[in-house]
Amino acid sequence: MELAYIPSPSTGVINLGPIPLRGYAFCIIIGVFVAVWYGNRRWIARGGTAGTVADIAVWAVPFGLVGGRLYHVITDYQLYFSEGENWVDAFKIWEGGLGIWGAIALGAVGAWIGCRRRGIPLPAYADAIAPGIAFAQAIGRWGNWFNQELYGKPTDLPWALKITESANREAGLYHPTFLYESLWCVGVAFLVIWADRRFKLGHGRAFALYVAAYCVGRAWIEYMRVDEAHHILGLRLNVWTAIGVFVLAVVYMVVSARIRPGREEVVEPKAAKAAADKAAGTTADDEDAPADDAAADAVADAPTDTGKDAADSDGDVEHGAGNGAGSAAKS
């Protein structure tokens, strides 16, 4: 008897008036906005300027989408290029199918191009957006819920996911692996935020921590899934990918910490230079102001007829100059 379960949506399309919006695409879009918004906050806190994260995302996001789709199509080529399949479906990204490994890899290439154009070090940018990417993945996974895909093994747990019958799936209750991964990604994001504040991670180590932590959860969740996948030595391909990427991320953190300890003091050189120039200009103006005020006082109190007036005037000038010097010292 089914006492409790997570229902699946009756349709994967949300209609906004005459415009159909697929739930999968909606989740991806919201995830991207969250990643850029939060990444921008972290970038500004590190000394960067507002808008830089979004400017670089213009390069990173399209590259990431292409990379994610390429990874999925290449690793699941039988879904598109086997006998009886239509290869045109490989371009139907709205039906689901983005590999995070390809998205991060090619997205990094796009980010590198954007950083080069802005004169920004890629590792610093990666550290700033790392938690935002994890939050974006947490949101994006709900797109699998809309499509009723990538669920786990059958279960009778109270939080089981109810899948409806279709041409390529059987009805039943399954582990909601989309939910497990979504919650795991939220945890990864908070882990990176905490570690970054506690240990002042820099030079790409916050991003490497995100990658390593995600891989741990992905390997476990991947093992629970029942969708068709290639296997190597009894393990799904994505499990091996998670293990390999985890090792690379940990090695990077260790080596980077030894070669370049600490955190970058400047993440956006042009912004830092502009701020320094502005500060220098303000200081110069402040130093000139007292002298100008003293000169104005001297003119106003200039001697007129008697020697007494002249003596009083000299005293006023001296007094004004002293005030100016004092003000300059305070500034």
pLDDT, tens digit (0-9, with 9 covering 90-100), for 64-119: 999 999 999 988 888 888 888 888 888 888 777 889 999 999 999 999 999 999 99
Contact 71, 102 (CB under 8 A): yes
**Mean of pLDDT over the chain:** 84
When pLDDT is cut at 50, 70 and 90, the band that residue 283 belongs to is low
Question: How far apart, in whole angstroms, are the C-alpha atoms of residue 36 and residue 57?
Answer: 7
Report which of 228, 250, 248, 230 is spatially closest to residue 239, judged by C-alpha positions: 230
Contact 215, 160 (CB under 8 A): no
- How many C-beta neighbours within 10 Å does residue 331 have? 12
Phi-psi region of 219 (alpha: psi -120 to 50; beta: other; left: phi over 0): alpha
When pLDDT is cut at 50, 70 and 90, the band that residue 46 belongs to is very high
Q: What are phi and psi of 292, to 5 degrees?
A: -65, -40
Q: What are phi and psi of 174, to 5 degrees?
A: -135, 165
% of the chain at pLDDT higher than 90: 60
Report which of 246, 254, 171, 175 is spatially closest to residue 216, judged by C-alpha positions: 246
Q: Give the predicted TM-score (pTM) of the model.
A: 0.80
**Tokens standing for 18?**
């005459």
Q: Averaged over 49-74, what is the pLDDT?
A: 95
pLDDT of 314 strictly over 80 = no
16-25, 40-49, 105-114, 162-171, range with the lowest pLDDT: 16-25
Question: How far apart, in whole angstroms, are the C-alpha atoms of residue 269 and residue 201?
Answer: 19
109-118, 198-207, 228-237, 300-309, range with the lowest pLDDT: 300-309
Burial (CB < 10 A; 0-12, 13-18, 19+), residue 294, is buried
Long-range CB contact pairs, 60-63, < 8 A, 24+: 60/107, 60/108, 60/110, 60/111, 60/114, 61/32, 61/107, 61/110, 62/110, 63/106, 63/107, 63/109, 63/110, 63/111, 63/113
3-class SS of residue 162 = strand
**H/E run at residue 52:** helix 52-75
Per-residue pLDDT, 83: 83
pLDDT of 315 strictly over 90 = no
84-88, 175-179, 215-219, range with the lowest pLDDT: 84-88
Per-residue pLDDT, 145: 94
Per-residue pLDDT, 282: 61
3-class SS of residue 21 = strand
| Whole-angstrom Cα Rg for the chain | 30
